[in-house]
Amino acid sequence: MTSSNKSQRVTISDVAKHAGVSIATVSRVLNQTGPVSPDTVATVQAVVDQLGYQPNRAARVLATQKTHVIGVLVDEITGDYSLPLIRGIELETRRAGYEFMMSSTRRRLVGTHYLVNETNTDGVIVFANSVPEHELERLAKLNFPVVLLACTSPPHLSIPYVTVENESGAFEMASYLIETRHYRKFAFLRGPDEHEDTLWRERGYREALARHGLNYDDQVVGEGGFNEEIAYETVTQWIRRGLSMEVIVAFDDDSAIGAMAALRDTNIQVPEAIAIVGFDDVRLSRYLTPPLTTVRIPIEQAAQLAVNKLIQLIETDESQESILLPTELIIRRSCGCC
């Protein structure tokens, strides 16, 4: 091995020296800015290749005030929706020649700033409720580019966002269950209140029930927590207490999975005795026994659009309207359809 670590990294001065030009000229050919004679371009290029020169990122960032990095703030990297989300972000940032830095906010060290912020990115994507409102306010005050993913903006901030039609998705699901499957006795597994999805989905279900003369509040309602374990507990309690229901409507697939496990462990047949539906359509859902009826949300596409919107905001300082992506009802056996 050669001596110390990075001392010998080749810089723009090295290239300039070898090519017999100024560093300004090297910079110009590298960035294809300003006029340079073809001969000069050729020599510089040759030297760059020969030396394997790559511009130092920090220096370039400092000079241009652009990082070409976008930040991604999520509450936790867990749950099967995370993967398409990350894939969408990676795909689209790379396509745009950007990089991304992701940080989860949940268990962050108290008192420190977020690891990913306005000092090391050109803008951030904020997933759902991962960042408290006062931080969004701070960023808005700085006029720092932010796009929300999977939630809407606090009204007074009007931050652009990309999310999905939770309300109509829930409405359609409930309508299907009532009109086509003729269910009347529902049990709901809600998500966390902090999570905006919970509110919209509940609203959609309420609305559909009301339309058919049913009252949401008369139904069995419990905590699903967007979480397998919590849902398992809740459903087990329901069974123990002898509550009756025709269908369990989970506010996301993870809690539907927990519910299904709870029924299996109490020897209750799905969907013959009790039907189950979810929300999200994670990869697992189609493989369950029975396969899970659910509402598909286009999370990868939403992530890609959020990236595009953010980059546009960064580069042009303007953003068009926020985006509400359609959801799709996915009928499988768990709802008793076939």
State the residues that interact with a copy of itself by CB under 8 A: 1-2, 5-6, 9, 52, 54-59, 61-62, 65, 67, 69, 77-78, 80, 82-83, 86-87, 90, 94, 97, 99-104, 107-108, 113, 115-120, 138, 142-144, 257, 283-284, 287-289, 317
Find the shortest distance in angstroms from Cβ 159 to a copy of itself: 12
The interface partner of residue 113, options being DNA, a copy of itself, none and the CB cut-off 5 to 8 Å by kind, is a copy of itself
Which residues are bridge partners to 125 per DSSP?
72, 147
244 binds DNA (CB under 7 A): no
Strands 323-325 and 220-223: unpaired
Three-state secondary structure call for residue 47: helix
Q: Which stretch binds DNA (CB under 7 A): 23-31, 186-194, 204-212, 286-294?
A: 23-31
CB atoms within 10 A of CB 91: 14
Which distant-in-sequence residues (6+ apart) come within 8 Å of 191 by Cβ? Answer: 197, 198, 201, 224, 225, 226, 251, 252, 255
Residue 242 CB, shortest distance to a copy of itself, in Å, is 28
Q: Which of residues 27-66 bind DNA (CB under 7 A)?
A: 27-28, 30-31, 33-37, 39-40, 53, 55-56, 59-60, 62-65
- Rounded to the nearest 10 degrees, the angle between the axes of helix 23-31 and helix 38-51 is 90
Query: In this structure, what is the dihedral angle of CA atoms 181, 182, 186, 188, given to the nearest 10 degrees?
Result: 40
Give the separation between CA 278 and CA 252, rounded to whole angstroms: 5
Give 20 or 154: the residue with its C-beta nearer to DNA.
20
CB of 103 to a copy of itself, least distance (A): 7
Q: How far is the CB of 153 from a copy of itself (least distance, A)?
A: 15
Which of 9, 17, 94, 212 forms a contact with DNA (CB under 7 A)? 9
22 binds, among DNA, a copy of itself, none (CB under 5 to 8 A by kind): DNA
Q: Which residues pair with 161 in a beta bridge?
A: 148
CB of 142 to a copy of itself, least distance (A): 7
Report which of 298, 281, 280, 295 is spatially closest to residue 329, judged by C-alpha positions: 295
- Rounded to a whole number of angstroms, the minimum distance from the CB of residue 58 to DNA is 7
Q: How far is the CB of 9 from a copy of itself (least distance, A)?
A: 7
Which 63-82 positions form the footprint of DNA (CB under 7 A)?
A: 63-65
Residue with tokens 């039609």, as numbered in its chain: 165
Distance from the Cα of residue 204 to its chain's centroid: 22
C-alpha closest to that of 126 among 97, 157, 94: 157
Residues contributing to the site for DNA (CB under 7 A):
9, 11-13, 20-28, 30-31, 33-37, 39-40, 53, 55-56, 59-60, 62-65
